[in-house]
Amino acid sequence: MEYPKHSALATSSPSFYCYDLKEMAAEKVRALLTRRGFKARDIIDLYVLAKEGIAIKSVKSMAFEKTKF
């Protein structure tokens, strides 16, 4: 089957929702605080977020707020 060279999918920009980077960092800190063990991926994700300029100290209050349940 031959496909056309141009399609609507190729010319339109996708739209999707995602977490704000600070929100993501707060969720990772919350996970580290509330799990019995820790997952290496959370540490790695926090490292990558820090390299992107997200200071862990800046999400401290947000992370503690997420631990209330």
52: closest CA among 19, 25, 17, 29? 25
Q: What integer pLDDT is reported at residue 15 of this predicted model?
A: 82
Q: What ranges do the domains of the chain cover?
A: 19-66
| pLDDT tens, residue by residue, 9-26 | 566 777 888 889 999 999
8 A C-beta contact, residue 26 and residue 63: yes
Tell me the C-alpha distance between 15 and 28, whole Å: 25
| pLDDT tens, residue by residue, 25-67 | 999 999 998 988 888 999 999 999 999 999 989 999 999 898 8
Q: What integer pLDDT is reported at residue 27 of this predicted model?
A: 94
